[in-house]
């Protein structure tokens, strides 16, 4: 397994009641601090459709037709950031905030 994504040493992956495994703080994380950075290969929607039967949901959409994620089964685990959707989130991705930030923050996750 290769480490395609970055997870802060202040965070850890644990079992989650929301969905399998999730990312949890192991110590205090300051507002604006980077918690994780999604890494991987950039591919288009056509390639995503080809990869999904083997990899499942492991990508993040970065533009209308581009995605970032693992491209091989052996890289899936190291490409995950274990973020889950929640109605009252305490972290958000730069991608989900793209209307409010410039494109240099894509992929950044910060405690809000």
**Domain containing residue 71: CATH number:** 2.170.270.10
The pLDDT-based confidence of 84 (bands split at 50, 70, 90) is low
CA distances from 27 to 8, 9, 18, 24, 37 (A): 10, 9, 21, 9, 18
pTM above 0.85, yes or no: no
Average pLDDT, the chain: 80
In a domain, 35, yes or no: yes
In a domain, 39, yes or no: yes
How many degrees, rounded to 5, is the angle at CA 106 between CA 101 and CA 107? 135
How many degrees, rounded to 5, is the angle at CA 61 between CA 33 and CA 109? 5
- The answer on pLDDT for 34 being more than 60 is yes
In a domain, 1, yes or no: no
In a domain, 65, yes or no: yes
Q: 35 is in which domain, residue-wise?
A: 6-111
In a domain, 54, yes or no: yes
In a domain, 44, yes or no: yes
Q: Taking residues 79-85, what's their average pLDDT? A: 81
Domain count, the chain: 1
In a domain, 17, yes or no: yes
């Amino acid at each position: 397994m290769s480490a395609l994504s970055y997870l802060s040493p202040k965070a850890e992956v644990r079992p989650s009641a929301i969905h399998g495994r999730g990312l949890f703080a192991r110590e205090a994380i300051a507002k604006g601090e980077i918690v994780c950075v999604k890494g991987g290969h950039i591919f288009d929607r056509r390639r995503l459709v080809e990869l999904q039967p083997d990899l499942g949901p492991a990508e993040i959409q970065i533009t209308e037709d581009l995605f970032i994620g693992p491209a091989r089964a052996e890289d899936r685990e190291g490409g995950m950031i274990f973020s889950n959707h929640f109605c009252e989130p305490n972290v958000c991705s730069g991608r989900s905030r793209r209307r409010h930030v410039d494109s240099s923050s894509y992929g950044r996750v910060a405690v809000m």
